[in-house]
Each structure stands twice: as structure tokens, then as C-alpha cells.
Structure 1
Amino acid sequence: MRGWILDCYADEVNNEMVTWIKTSTGVERISDREYRPCFYVKPSAERRQDLLLGLKEAGVEHRWEQHRTWLTGPLEDVLKVTPRGYRNLMPLARTVDKWGCHRDHTLFNVDTRMDTRYFLHRKVFPMGLMDVERWKNLDTPFRLDYPMPELRSCELTLETSTRRGMPTLEDRLKRATLDDVVMEGKEADILELLQQALRDQDPDVLITDGGDSFHLPFLEKCAERNEMELELGREGGKRRGKGKSYFTYGRILYKPPAYKLRGRIHLDKGSSFIFQEGKMAGLIDLCRLSRISMQDMARMSPGSAISAMQVNEASKMGSLVMWKKNLPEEFKTAAELVASDRGGLIYEPKVGLHEHIQEVDFTSLYPSIMVRHNISPETLNCDCCQDSGEPVPGLGYWTCSKRRGLLGRVLEPIVRRRISLKRLKKEGGRRSQIYDQQAKVLKWVLVTCFGYTGYRNARFGRIECHESITAHGREILMRSAEVAERRGFRVLHGIVDSLWLSGDGDVEAYCREIGQRMGIPLVWDGEYKWIVFLPNLTNGAGALNRYYGAFQDGELKVRGIALRRRDTCTLARELQQGMLDRLVLGEDAEGFRHRIPEALDVLDSFIRDLRDMETPLEKLVLSKRITRELNEYRQKNDQFRALCQLEDQGFRTPPGEAVEFIMIKGKEVKVAQFLEGDEEYDVGRYEELLFRAAGELLSPFELGQDRLRDFYRRNGAK
């Protein structure tokens, strides 16, 4: 029998691994009670006997084995510890760590995902075709075109009895829809009909929009209220995670609890970044590469995928993976810190309007640097190549010339795969969209892999790797700019991996030369008929990543303005889009300037509608992310007022979630879900948003926010 692994998880009650296989005729459930997960301990000499005695008294199976505890280290004696049950693994590991006073025992392979452990043990991967009886792969993870099962999917939507716009768990279920099957009636009857519809249609994938945060917990509450058992999977039992707030890249985000099903994939498209970027094709591709089950991968970040790939590769290299990594940063003098902690190279943009500009970009620059220059935590400043290693520009570091590093081994096939997928997409054909979706997901995997090298909690992070990558990046961009100037170009702007060039040089010949010199492809992104680099709002200097421009074919590219931001309202975004739709008609710099009055006419129309109270409320909704609990706010700002309204209605909004509201008269706000349709919005505050959005585009032409505000206060709208 042949099939694809649809899902895999640990059943902690029965101490077994459960694998669901999708076959040509249906699904098969396979349980394995022989597999026993373990972890490893490298005890200190002083507490070694105490550890052995403690494990013996607790009746825990253990034995000595030899393994590498670091990627390039020698074989060492480590203690293999096998808990009695699946659910005992983490508590036992914490106990052993505590016995060593959290410093004397080094533990390995503790928090590796259970499904990934099992896949590595069986040498298989999810969504890969396999011989089920022999557990033998009939496919490879990095294959470009691979056979896929026909997955049946259904989308579930719910309607509740709420009257205030925001449903709660205490509402009653009014209607459930599974694809085109509508179920109405008493709440208990709807639940019965829903479960019967799932049995009849038997989908492999149940799609929701907000299933983790509301739909499934709400259905669970309805079933509890009606004293019913709710079974949405192919068998009963709950697989539920915990919600959490976390800090990433300067923002606090919230991840709702995961409501996973047994034998059926619950895909919450509203909270799955990977599905939003790459749809089903991208999600499946990343499952195969990372060896993470689809239901889990859908709820993870690209960073979790690259971390899993690194763990998988380390295991294949014969190394254990340390728990609670504690690899300190090497000591540096103040001068060394100044030299090393510099980030990417920036050429400050020339603020204003420019015409006939070429943009060139390096393909996956930082991942390619890691591959080409063998940058990895175990290859950097290695003992074997102090005199023969490849030097890192300006830092006094070197990389190993004798062995291939972990990061390069992981990234090289991903970089090559993405290049191949982009090429296949350009060639067209019936799979073109699939290639595009797969390439989009890999782009985010490659973006995060660089950040993880400098993240102290990453399993294979090391700040010196981060510094080495940016050092090579600065050198590459600087040398590329020098070659550009020698070839007759002028550098208008440069940031990390991109250059904007003016002049009449041969851009294709330039890209070929740089690609050959640097060993990393430089790609011509296109020629702008005009581009506007915007100023920094505080000091007027060129903003590093705020611009808008039109390519020769009329395609717009915008970065860093309200049109691209999530925290502004639809009204401001529509204003900027309307103004840009007029400006893009200009064929050169002169044509652009002639279109500015037309762009101002768009602003005038928006201001007039706003003042006449004709702007729909839904276009005024602002979304702001919550950064703290309600009682931690010291200022009574808009977020605080919105949280108070939600709290009064019994809703708790954890840090990381976003609140939506409109600004109403009296410098107050009203939560969007509580709107009744007759609210009077604050015209003055929304005018400021429009002046800011318009001024953002036109500030290089002395038409900034302040001047636009003054004009309309004196003259009003036309």
C-alpha cells in the first residue's frame, strides 16, 4: 500500500505514536507503541553518581552511549534516559536539570518535536509518498515536482446570536455552514448535523477563518452546554495547545491556543502566516522540507521551520542538540564592538524625484553569503584553520576551509530550490502558480535564517556569525557600488542587498560582472520611469526604506508609506492609492509634476466627503496592536479607551492582539465591533490622517502635512 503521511502525533494517554496515512482509497490510522522517546545527559563529574542513583531509585531506564555533543566535537560518553511514558519526558528532564542545580548537567534532545523525532527515527517525512508496509520513502523532500494526494477540504463558517457585532462563548449557535451545506435549528440539532456532515463528506482538511481563536472553542462550549460529545476529527480526543504573547522584531504578538484535530487537518487560514503567503502548495512544501506535520506547520513561523531543518541536519551529522543552549558571546573591546556591530551597508537616498532609475538586487544575499563563505557557529574561528581559513572582512574572524558548516548544508539546497522555482514560474505552464507559492514561502524561510544567527536563544545562533554575514554584505555592496560608478552609473540609494542607479551604463553587463565577481547573482529588477525617495519625518534626511516609484510598464512599487501599513485606516490607504493612480500617468519627472494637481484633487474629494459626513464608518476603522495589560497603561490613549470598552463588555484582549476602533467626537473612540451605524466620527482627527497620508507622498515638493493642513483651514475644500 502506498500513501502520504497526513498527520502524526504522540498519544500521551496510550504511549504511542499515531500516524494518519492518506491513500488512494481513503485514510489509514497506524499506531506504534514500540517507539520510546528519550533524551541524553552529560553529567558533571561531581554529580555523576548522584544522577545515576537518582535515576535508579526512580526506576528510570538509562544507559551509557557515545555521541557527539557538538557539531564538530569528538564522541563522548553521555547517558541515554528513556522515560516510562511520553508525558514523563519533559517533567523528568526538568527534574534531572534541577538535580544538577541547572548548571552541572547538560541535557540534549529534550525539546525536539515529537513528530519530528519520529520522522527522523523512521527516516520518512510528511506529505511524501511512501510504501506504508515497509515505511520506505518513494520520494525525496527536495524534489521539485512530486506526486501529491487529492486532499478533500471543506470550509466551516458559523453564525451566532450576538447582537453587538463581537460574538462571545456565551452566545447561542444560530447557523453552521460546511461548504454549501447549511445547518439551522436548535443548537443541539446543529451540532448533530455538523458532525454528520463531516462524517458524510469526510474532508481531509477542515478550513476555518478564526477557528483557533473562536470557532472551535465556541463549538466546544456549545457541546458542553448541551451535554454532548463533540467530534470534529476522524476520532475523538482533544489536541489543544496554549495561547501566548511573545516579542519579536520590536512588536508584541499574540498566538491563540491551537485547536488541532485527530486524523483531520484543522487549518485556521486567519492565523496561518505560511498558508496566507503560500496557500496549500507552499504549506505542504515546507512540511516536507522541515519534517513537521501540516497541522503544526500551519501554526508556526518560517523561523520555526528553519530551526527544525537545522535540528534535522545536526541529527544527520551525528550530533545531539543541546537543551537550554548557553553559548556566551566572545569578549570584545569597545573598538571591536564598534567595528563588528554595524549591520548592513546603507547609501543614504537622495531625497526627491528622479527619472530613468535602475534597481538591482542580490538574490537571497545573506543566505548566499552563509553558503558561499561557510559561515556557521562551528566553522567560525575554528581551531583547525587559524592560518588557512577564509578571513571575514574587517573583523579578524575566519571560517573553516576543511569542513562544511551546518548552516551552509541546510541553506544551500533551499537557495538553489528557490532559484529553480522562480525560473520554473517564469517559464509558465499549469504549475506556474504552485511554483510561485512555494517560492514565496521559501523567501520567508531564507529571510528569517539570518536573524536566527544573532538570536541568543536560537539553537544554532551565534552573534559572531551574524556579524560576519553583515561584514561580507557591506563589502559586497561597497564593491558593487564601486564597479557601478566605474561603469558610468551614479548610486542614488543602496540598502543591504539593493542598489538604485542613475546613468546610461549597460545594466545587464554590470549584473553579469558582479555575479561573477561575488559568486552571488545580481538581478535587474527593472527601470523606473520615475521614483520618489522620501525624507525622514524628524530630520529631513533621506529615509532608508520609504519610497514609491513607477516602472516603465506602469507597475507601482511602494515601501514604508501608509498604503503598506496595517495600523492605518482604509480611508488613508485609499487616498494614497487614488493619488498614486494619478501620478503614475506621468511618463517622466516632468509628467509626474504635471500630475500633482490631479493628485491634490483626489485629496480634495476625500476631505469634502469627510466634512460632509459621507465617509462610511468601515473605512475609518483603525487597528492598533496591544502591548500590555489594561492595568499597565499609564496614559489614557486610544488603545486604553478601546480596552476599557472591551473589558466592560467582558472581553479580555491579551498583549499582542489588535483592537479595532473608530475615533468619535470628544476625543473618544468606539470599538469597531460595537458600532451601531449612527456614530459621528471626529472629522478633525481623520483630516489629520488624510493630511499626513497626502503629505507623506508630496513632502519632497513642499506639500507636506503642515502646509496641506494650513491650506484647507484657510480655504476649505473646493
Structure 2
Amino acid sequence: MSPYTFEFEGGDVREWTLTEAGAEPTTVADYTPSLFVGGPDAALADLNDRLSSDPKVVATERERWATSLHDAHAGKRRHVLRVTLERVAEIRPLAREIRGVYERETHAPGTFRLFDVDLEPGFRYCLDRDLDPTPARDLRTLRLALDDAALADGDVSALELADDRVDGGERRTLRTLRRRLERRNPDALVVSNAELIPLLERRAEVLGVDGVSLGRRPGWTRLASENTYASYGRVGHSPARYQVPGRAIVDASNSFLWHQSGLAGIRYMVERTGRPLQEAAWGSIGTLLTARQIRLARREKGVLAPWNAWEPERFTDVETLHAADRGGFTFAPEVGFHETVHEIDFASLYPRIIREHNVSPETVDCNCGDDARADGVDSHRVPELGYEICETDGFLPAVLDPLIADRAEIKGRLAEGPDEATAARLRAESGAIKWVLVACFGYQGYRNAKFGRIECHEAINAYAREIALEAKRRLEDADWRIVHGIVDSLWVTPRVDAPEPLADVIGEVSAQVGIPLEHDGSYEWVCFVPLRDSIRGAGAGGASTDGTATAGGPNPARGTTTAGALTKYFGKRTSGEYTYRGLEVRQRSAPAFVAESQRAFVETFDRERDPEAVCDSLGRRLSELREGTVDPIDLAVTKRVSKSLGDYSQRTHTVAALQRYERRGIDRHPGQSVEYVVVDDDARGSERVRLALEEPRTYDADYYATLLVRACESVLSPLGWDRVRIRRSLRDGTAVRLSTFTG
């Protein structure tokens, strides 16, 4: 069996291989990692001479590698300098020296191109040694959790072990932890926060509780410090990462995959990317996609992974730029109430476009030219843009094809009705695949993508627009009306009493475009919600606010507008299940009471088909608020922090919460979240809120009334009802301040 987790100590590597009883270590002393440097021959010779005296460098050697997908596509290999070092930890420092010292002193900027620099240690080791770190048996796990307040206070008595809390003080908790570790012998520790690793071992030492070791051997190592970063205009926070001997750490506070697909999804991505379990757990979706690309590029194409993206955007005339810079196609939703609606969507549209049309950085305008065509290599042109795509098998389709095939197979197996344990694993694997397939398209336009190219991004969009328009034409010819469409999904309703069977139309479109168009669900009714500003504009007066209900339900011809709308809707499937998109109920920041109330508003709307009845439901909820019968913890608001406390200029609720966290000694960095209850919105400073962990007993009813009315407005706005009309229709006579319905 291959090892599943690794430790790097000096120049040695310790491999941990799973056994039936646990895991066994093997020390490897002969591993020497390398980075590669490309550039002009004279510059490489000079660099070779200068590195000969560097104590970090074990050896240098000239080798021939493809330094880009274009090189591999054209069958070219270039001379590069392999620089071998004794320790993995010295790779990045040497790369910075080459770029910032050697190049700067004697050569022009950009003379050297560096490769295989920023690979994580475990992934690098598996790549170099051609190891598959996929666990060879089911993993035993142990979950450890500690709330933020106890973590900040260094109090481990509140530790939860596998969802069970141990009472009786810190010593008893630590002894119980020791017994659980010995009895369970876990292969992976799932921790609520990685800071638990050093805290537990330190407290055991201080309190004299012997034998408490989270690893299979004593000790722990900090792999990386915490840091704050910005991506796509959003601030994120990466906590410190730790390692213990012989066990993988899954930090629930720093693992997107854990929350989306659990251990089964992480394990699947280990198999497909070659990143060991712990590195796969904390890796972002883009990171995992890049790892898969790097491994395939090295194994199949002989291409090194560039440290920095080097693919310049080609010169484009204004006409082509105008056609290219359009994004996906969207059919503006017909805001309002619609009955008998079907949702259809293209299965993995963008990944399948990449595969079906061979879109890849090296195939788009690859310059194969007449010589290639003379050798029987065909090409085709991208619609609207005219980019020529070579038919030689592309790299990006090869990256995605196994994932697409796996997801299709999983869907088929789930349709067969497997037992619940198998179904849960399959759903987890499918979820992990979904996120990588979602990211693959956008990553082509990401400026730091190692194997990205903006022309690929543009070509994929062009094909998607053509496919959407083709589907629209065929559906309308068959007497189906599109009430909304976005990228790969369409919502349609019959235009006549007996349109062509939808299944027949779907089959024809699928065959014509080469990508499966699938029936995703049927709805008894769907409401598309307008933008909030357009609600107020409609509410100023006129027919658009009428929205009257008849015996058959709200009249969709009234209160319906195409005023700018996002994909924000709710509806009832024919199965009886309600669907929500974009509403407060789906927003992470929405308090539980507000989300649950909005569900009640939708259910009332479905049952009564009367906006007045929904307002009655709102009135009862407002009464609960004002009577103080709502549990304050159900009113907790969760917000992401975008700046440090001192950088905020406005005194917002987030600032008040940050002040209270600071007072309790709990760090909150940009990218992390705060959770609070508004107790007095008219107060100043930190007194406006109480943290959820402070177990507040009161709340500001007026503030939460505002949120409730907004949630009700989202439900009734498709009928043209705004906050003013909702206020007029409240029947319980509750006095609500004017600010509840404005701003």
C-alpha cells in the first residue's frame, strides 16, 4: 500500500502507510527535491556558476523539458537548469534569491523563468516519487471541537469528543481524550480549529496529564502561520496549519471540501489530484484543480509547472474584443408568478464544451498551420470570434474527462437506489467533482492560473451563447416559452395547451449541440423576484402594484415586470418540495428566525394564494418579536469581516461585534466571521450588540422587525407588493416604526 501522510524533518521524509491495525512509519533519507530554471543559455551558465557555492544546493544539471503546453503541443523541449536541494523547505527561499538577487544583479527582469517552486511538500514528494497517496482502506476519524470563547481562554474542559462533551474539568477531559485516542487509534483528526493541536498538548503538559499525544508519536509541528488574503475582491483568512506524527489533520475551520462533501469527497480528490489527505482537506477548489493539472502535465506531457503565469493576452481588434468580452448568455427573468414551469439544464455545460470542442490553452490558435493540416490534423473555428482550434487532443479536456465520466457514472448509480451508506458516499464524491467542474471554466480567465488562458475563457463563453440561442430557437418553435435562462439553465412554460412533448425537444437539442440537456424538475409554480430598488419603484403607484388574487391564484399578468432582476426566485416542485434561490432563507447572514419565518410566508402563499394571508403571517411573527418570546440565539446574525477593527470608518454592527471579541481576547481577522445579536440598535459602540457566545437574553425588536418585513417583501414583490402596501395590510394593528418600511 502507498503511504497516505508524510512528515519532513530536515532532509528526511517519514512515510506513514496504513495497516489493518493502524499505520506504520518508514523513513526515507535519499529524497532530494528540485526546482527548475529556464532562460537563455548564457544566463543559465552564469546562474549555474553562482549556485555552485550556495550551501543549500546539492547539485545542478542541464535537462530538456517542455516549459509550456505550447512546447509540448509542438513537440519542443528546452534546456532548463535543474537545481537539486537537500531540504524541501529551502525551495522557495532559493527561488526568491534567484529572482530577487541573482537576476536583479546581472540580468534584465524576466530573464529567468522558474518552475516547480510553489508545490506543497507532500504533493511534491508524491509527484517526484510517482506515489498515489489515496488511503487504501476506510479511515478511522476522531472529531475534536472547542468553542471560540474556551479556545481563547485556553480552557479545554469544554472539549467535545465525537460530539460528546466530557464534564469534570480539564484533567478529566484530557484523560478521556487519551483513552479515546488509544481505543480508536484514528487515522485522521477532524478539529473545529487547528489551534486545538498545540493547546491540548500544552495543557496536558501544564496539568501533568501524561501520555496525551495527538499523533502516533509525541510532538506536533506548525507547518504555516495564519495569513489574510484577497481573492476576486473578497477578503479571506487562512488559519495556521499544524501536523502531528502519523495522522492527518482536517481543520473544519479551513476546509471548504469538508463542509461540502465530507471525508468521502476529500478522499476522492486525493485520488484525482495526488495531494495527500491533509493537503487536499485545506486546499481550495482552484488549488485542487491546479494540482490535477500539474500532475497530468508532468506525467503525460512532460511539462513543468510555472511559478508565475506567463501566458500574455494576444492582440485583439476592437470588433473581436467586443464579441469576446460578453460572458455567458442570460435571458432576463419575467418577474412575477408562473404556473406549470419546467427547469431544464445542460449537464456540466462548460466542462463539456471544453471537452467536445477541444478547448485548451495550446489548441486555441495553436499555429499548427498548413504543415499540421497536411498531416491530417483538422481544426474548427469558434463562433463569433473566429479563433481556430486544433483537433489534436488537448490538455484541458484530458484533465476534465475522467471527472465528467465519474460524475455521470455516479448519477447512474444513485438512480439505481443504492443503500444509504453507499448513496451518501456517492453524493459526497459527486459534490466534490461538481465544484471542480464549476471552477474549471473561470480558472481559465484567472490571472494566476498556471495553465490558464483568457482566449480559452472567451471561446467557452462563445460556444455557450450559441448553444443557449439554439436551445431557445428549438423550444420556441415547439411552443414553449422561456421565462428565465442563465448560463446553463432554462425555465420554460407551455405557450399553448398542447406544445410538443418537452422530452422530445430536449432530446433533439441534446443531439444537435452534442451536450446532454436534462429535465431538472417540474414546478407547480415559480415566482421570480425583482431587484429591491425596482420593488420600490413599482410600489410608488400604478398597475404594477395591483397583484390581486383570483380564485385560481395571483394573476401573473398583473404585478409582473421585467425590471432588472437577478436569479432570485422561489417555487414549489411537483414533488411538494419548496425551492429557494437568492432569498434571505439562503443567505448565510440571515438569522434563523427570519429564515424560518420566510419559509412560513412561502408556505402560506402556496396554501392561500392570497397576499393578505401572507401579511397576516407576518403580523403574527411581528407580535412574537414584540412580546419577547423569540429565543435571542435564533436572531444571531453572521457577517464576514472585511478589514481589521482599526480600518473601519463606519460604526457598524460588525465593528461593535469586533470590539466585543477584542474585549474577550478572541482574535477575529479579515476573512473570518462574527456572530452577534443586535440588542439595542440606538446604543453606541459595542453596546449595540451581544456576541452569540455571550448567550444574550434580550434583543432589539424594531431592528428584527425590519428584517422580517424585508423577508416578507421578497415573497410578495413578484406580485408588485412593496413595504408600503404590506404595512397597510397588516391586520393585527401592531404599531411598527416607519423605519421598518424604509431604507
**TM-score, with length taken from structure 2:** 0.86
Please say if 1:537 is aligned against 2:532.
yes
Which of 347, 350, 354 is residue 370 of structure 1 equivalent to?
354
Q: How does 1:32-431 map to 2 (within 5 A)?
A: 32-45=28-41, 47-58=43-54, 60=57, 61-73=59-71, 74-98=76-100, 99-101=102-104, 103-127=110-134, 129=136, 149-158=137-146, 166-179=149-162, 187=170, 190-191=173-174, 194-208=177-191, 210-212=192-194, 214-223=195-204, 225-226=206-207, 231-240=213-222, 241-316=224-299, 317-385=301-369, 389-401=379-391, 403-430=392-419, 431=422
Residues of 1 paired with 2:436 and 2:717: CA distance? 36
Please say if 1:671 is aligned against 2:690: yes
Contact (CA 8 Å) 2:342, 2:519: kept in 1 or not? yes
Pairwise CA distance, 1:654: 0.6
Aligned positions of 1:457-476 closer than 5 A: 457-476=448-467
Among 691, 701, 713, the alignment partner of 2:719 is 701
Q: Distance in 2 between matches of 1:370 and 1:499?
A: 21
SS in 1 for 2:65: strand
Structure 1 residue 196: Cα displacement: 4.7
Query: How far did 1:647 drift?
Result: 2.2
User: Mean alpha-carbon deviation: is it higher for 177-186 or for 227-236?
Assistant: 177-186
**CA 1:200 to 1:489, structure 2 compared with 1: closer, same or farther past 3 Å?**
closer
**What is the deviation of 1:714?**
9.8
**Which residue matches 1:28?**
24
Q: Which has the higher helix share?
A: 2
1:438 corresponding residue in structure 2 = 429
Letter in 2 for 1:603: L
Between stretches 300-309 and 112-121, larger displacement belongs to 112-121
Structure 2 distance, partners of 1:508, 1:337, is 38
CA distance in 2, matches of 1:108, 1:190: 48
The residue identity in structure 1 corresponding to 2:480 is: F
1:432-581 map, 5 Å: 432-503=423-494, 504-539=499-534, 541-581=563-603
Relative to 1, partners in 2 of residues 1:538 and 1:30: Cα closer, same or farther, differing over 3 Å?
Answer: same
Alpha-carbon contact 1:314-1:320 (below 8 Å) kept? yes
**Alignment RMSD, CA only?**
2.5
Q: For residues 92-115 of structure 1, give each alpha carbon's deviation from its aligned partner in whole angstroms, at most 9, with x where no partner exists.
A: 122122211252111111122222
- Is residue 646 from structure 1 mapped to residue 648 from structure 2 by the alignment? no
Q: Which moved more, 1:693-702 or 1:219-228?
A: 219-228
- Cα offset for 1:456? 0.5
Q: Contact between 1:533 and 1:542, CA under 8 Å: does it hold in 2?
A: no
Cα distance change, pair 253–57 in 1 and its aligned pair in 2 (3 A): closer
* Cα deviation, residue 176, structure 1: 4.3
Cα distance change on mapping 1:676 and 1:76 into 2, 3 Å = closer
The CA distance in 2 between the partners of 1:661 and 1:323, in whole Å, is 42
Residue identity opposite 1:552 in structure 2: T
1:162 maps to what in 2? none
Superposed displacement of residue 392, structure 1: 1.1
Query: Where in structure 1 are there 5+ consecutive unaligned residues?
Result: 130-148, 160-164, 586-591
Q: Provide the C-alpha distance between the structure 2 equivalents of 1:512 and 1:392, rounded to a whole number of angstroms.
A: 24
C-alpha separation in 2, matches of 1:676 and 1:421 = 44
Task: State how far apart, in whole Å, the 1-side matches of 2:204 and 2:702 are.
Answer: 48
1:284 Cα deviation from its structure 2 partner: 1.0
Secondary structure class of the residue paired with 1:543:
coil
Going from structure 1 to structure 2, the CA distance change for 1:227 and 1:108 (only over 3 Å counts) comes to: farther
- AA of the residue aligned to 2:103: G
Of the structure 1 ranges 274-283 and 247-256, higher mean CA displacement relative to structure 2 is found in 247-256
Note the C-alpha offset of 1:86. 2.5
Tell me: CA distance 1:553–1:200, structure 2 relative to 1, closer, same or farther (3 Å): closer
Does the 8 Å CA contact 1:385/1:400 hold for their aligned counterparts? Answer: no
User: What is the distance in 2 between the residues matched to 1:436 and 1:224?
Assistant: 42
**1:336 corresponds to which letter in structure 2?**
T
Q: Following the alignment from structure 1 to structure 2, what is the Cα–Cα distance between the partners of residues 190 and 306?
A: 40
Task: Please say if 1:593 is aligned against 2:609.
Answer: yes
Q: Equivalents in 2 of 1:574, 1:175: separation in Å? A: 30
| TM-score normalized by the length of structure 1 | 0.89
Name the stretch that deviates more: 217-226 or 108-117: 217-226
Q: Give the superposition deviation at 1:313.
A: 0.8
Q: Which amino acid aligns with 1:116?
A: F
Contact 1:355 1:529 in 2 (8 A): yes
Moved more, 567-576 or 260-269: 260-269
CA contact (8 A) 2:612 2:729 kept: no
Contact 1:169–1:218 (8 Å) recurs in 2 = no
Structure 2 counterpart of 1:12, one-letter code: E
Residues 328-353 of structure 1: CA deviation (Å, up to 9, x unaligned): 22233444332211111011111111
Partner Cα separation in structure 2 for residue 49 and residue 153 of structure 1 = 51
SS of equivalent to 2:33:
coil
Structure 1 residue 565: Cα displacement: 0.5
| SS of equivalent residue, structure 1 residue 167 | helix
1:226 Cα deviation (Å)? 4.7
Match of 1:19 in 2: 15
* Partners of 2:380 and 2:390 within 8 A in 1: yes
Deviates more, 1:360-369 or 1:576-585: 576-585
Query: For 1:100 and 1:85, how far apart are their aligned partners in 2?
Result: 23
What is the letter of the counterpart of residue 77 of structure 2? L
Give the SS at the match of 2:412.
Answer: helix
Distance 2:400 2:695 in 1: 53
Amino acid across the alignment from 1:173: V
Percent sequence identity over aligned pairs: 32
Instruction: Return 5+ residue gaps in structure 2 as ranges.
Output: 536-562, 737-743
**Superposed displacement of residue 710, structure 1:** 5.0
Instruction: Please state whether the residue corresponding to 1:5 is helix, strand or coil.
Output: coil
CA 1:353/1:186 → structure 2, altered by over 3 Å: closer, same or farther? closer
**Take 1:185 and 1:614, find their aligned partners in 2: how far apart are those partners?**
33
Instruction: Please list the CA deviations of residues 131-181 of structure 1 after superposition, one character each: whole Å capped at 9, or x if unmatched.
Output: xxxxxxxxxxxxxxxxxx24222233458xxxxx82244443325454498
**Residues 604 and 717, structure 1, Cα contact 8 Å, conserved in 2:** no
SS in 1 for 2:579: strand
For the residue of structure 2 that corresponds to 1:100, the secondary structure is helix
**Contact residue 615 and residue 730 of structure 2 kept, 8 A:** no
How far, CA to CA, are the matches of 2:461 and 2:485 in structure 1? 14
CA distance in 2: counterparts of 1:28 and 1:539, whole angstroms: 64
- CA 1:187–1:359 in 2, change beyond 3 Å: closer, same or farther? closer
Say how many residue pairs are matched: 679
Contact 2:615–2:729 (Cα < 8 Å) also in 1: no
Q: Which residue of 2 aligns with 1:136?
A: none
Amino acid at match of 1:550: K
Query: Structure 1, residues 222-243: CA drift from partner, whole Å, max 9, x if none?
Result: 2464588862111234332222
Do 1:43 and 1:51's aligned partners in 2 also have CA atoms closer than 8 Å?
A: no
**Alpha carbons of 1:221 and 1:606: their partners in 2 closer, same or farther (altered >3 Å)?**
farther
Q: CA deviation at 1:125?
A: 1.2
